[in-house]
Amino acid sequence: MRQDFNPFILTGYTTPEYFCNRENETKRLIKNIKNQQNTTLFALRRLGKTGLIKHVFHRLQAEKKVVCIYIDLYATRNLGDFANLLANAVYQAYPEKKQFAKQFIDTFKSLRPIVSIDSLSGTPELSLDLSGNVKIEKTIPQLLTYLEAQNIPIVIAMDEFQQIVHYPEKNVEAILRTKIQELQNCHFIFSGSHQAMMVEIFHHVKRPFYNSTTPINLTKIDAASYHSFIKKMFEKYKYTITDESIDYVLEWTDRFTYHVQAVCHHLFADGDKKITLEKTQALCLEVLKQQEHIYFQYRNLLTDTQWQLLKAFANEETVTQPYTKKFILKYQLGSAAIVKRSLEALVTKEMIYYDASSPAPYYAVNDKFLMRWLQRLPK
Ligand SMILES: Nc1ncnc2c1ncn2[C@@H]1O[C@H](COP(=O)(O)OP(=O)(O)O)[C@@H](O)[C@H]1O
Ligand SMILES: [Mg+2]
């Protein structure tokens, strides 16, 4: 066992050992893939969508029956970016097959593929030249046709898929949908955080993706299994942690996966092998202190009313009715019209989210550390 290793992973995915639960969701995703169904994976940010996809891929790759391709569309701005990302991911998916790489490059010769070494990771990266007369709307379908022709089952995860709504090209959904419905060997996971937008894409009758996928709504990991996971991880490395400490972490982070992982990561890194409630509480404050300079910057980036509203939401933790007199008076927010405008701005900036999947839909502060920090400010 490596002693320099922190079992609370903060970025990416390592192995199932350090991954908590998600057994049902994993089973459902694998079942969909094996039954040639496309899945839409919805969840609020930082609950673990990307982690779940990587976990499922880890399982599938062990079986060696399916080729897994992952792309994250978050930073893409147009169809060209998308095409390049997909081309590179396809190229990366077959690293051991020299023959494949050559064939791939030959097929896409007209797009002048260039393989260069990424200066940060040191791995070969492929990019296409999509300037000039290239019909970009044909490139993604061509890549998919190419994959289809390999005659092996392929699963392609498109993470942060809602990003396509922002592309300047108008017909992205239709281009994708038309191609995707022809494919027999390629199956898809569309994953996205911006719930309202994902619902638009996949549940709106007039949209091309309407009713074409099986939805999975990822919620928080249940408290009991997260509790025993945390205990097990600490004990494995000869730490002791009290049950009340674990409960405190789960409550203080609102059980958002990233935030739970981050607090546990720091508790572990701290090195003190006896973790008490007092120590846990002190560490949580330390985490807020480390972020404080960023939070002060947020204040400069927001208007006064947006800031007041953000503080109000932090204090309430969840708000089902932000336009009532009672709420507006309590926090001296002016009028319903002002609240509406500020709230829209905060949602667009992704500082506040709207959870529409809950039985009583509500608004809340996106970053639970920011929420805890705001709660400590003078009223
Ligand atoms: N089931 C899990 N067990 C342990 N850590 C997880 C789990 N799911 C996600 N994580 C970790 O939580 C953090 C946030 O998860 P991520 O998958 O990036 O969320 P999302 O993609 O929904 O924004 C990451 O650091 C990830 O490694
Ligand atoms: Mg993600």
- pLDDT tens-digit map of 165-224: 999 998 899 999 999 999 999 999 999 987 777 888 888 888 888 888 999 999 999 999
Q: How far is the CA of 8 from the centre of ligand 2 (A)?
A: 17
The values of phi and psi at residue 72, to 5°, are -110, 115
In a domain, 13, yes or no: no
49 CB near ligand 1 (under 6 Å) = yes
The CATH number for 307's domain is 1.10.10.10
Model confidence at 124, pLDDT cuts 50, 70, 90, reads: confident
- Which residue's alpha carbon is nearest to atom 8 within ligand 1? 48
56 CB near ligand 1 (under 6 Å) = no
The CATH number for 142's domain is 3.40.50.300
User: Is pLDDT of 378 > 50?
Assistant: yes
In this structure, the chain runs to a length of 379
| Structural domain total, the chain | 3
Q: How far is the CA of 45 from the centre of ligand 2 (A)?
A: 7
| 34 and 166 together in one domain | yes
- Residue recorded with tokens 């060696």: 64
Q: How far is the CA of 157 from the centre of ligand 2 (A)?
A: 11
Q: Where are the alpha helices (DSSP H) in the chain?
A: 23-34, 49-63, 79-93, 98-107, 136-148, 172-180, 195-203, 223-236, 243-252, 257-270, 277-301, 304-316, 325-330, 336-348, 368-375
User: Is pLDDT of 95 > 70?
Assistant: no
Vertex 72: Cα angle to 225 and 106 (nearest 5): 135
Model confidence at 93, pLDDT cuts 50, 70, 90, reads: confident
Q: SS3 of 275, please?
A: strand
CB 188 within 8 A of CB 158: yes
Q: How far is the CA of 259 from the centre of ligand 1 (A)?
A: 9
> What is the C-alpha separation between 256 and 164, in angstroms, rounded?
26
In a domain, 14, yes or no: no
46 CB near ligand 1 (under 6 Å) = yes
Q: What is the domain extent for residue 100?
A: 20-217
| 135 and 92 together in one domain | yes
Q: Quickly list DSSP for 139-188.
A: HHHHHHHHHHTT-S-EEEEEETGGGGGGSS-S-HHHHHHHHHTT-SSEEE
Q: How far is the CA of 70 from the centre of ligand 2 (A)?
A: 11
pLDDT of residue 294: 96
50 CB near ligand 1 (under 6 Å) = yes
User: Is pLDDT of 76 > 50?
Assistant: yes
- Which residue's alpha carbon is nearest to atom 15 within ligand 1? 48
CB 165 within 8 A of CB 197: yes
In a domain, 7, yes or no: no
pLDDT of residue 210: 81
Cβ neighbours around 327 below 10 Å, total: 19
Q: How far is the CA of 230 from the centre of ligand 2 (A)?
A: 22
Sorted by sequence, the CB contacts under 8 Å of residue 140 that are 6+ apart come out as 79, 82, 83, 86, 175, 176, 179
Mutate to test the pocket of ligand 1, among 54, 198, 261 (most ligand atoms within 8 A of CB): 261
Mutate to test the pocket of ligand 1, among 13, 41, 50, 264 (most ligand atoms within 8 A of CB): 50
pLDDT of 285-294, one tens digit each? 999 999 999 9
| 277 and 311 together in one domain | no
Q: Beta strands 124-127 and 154-159: pairing type? A: unpaired
> What is the C-alpha separation between 139 and 80, in angstroms, rounded?
9
pLDDT of residue 1: 45
pLDDT of residue 148: 92
| 119 and 257 together in one domain | no
pLDDT of residue 132: 75
C-alpha 158: how far from its chain's center?
A: 11
45 CB near ligand 1 (under 6 Å) = yes
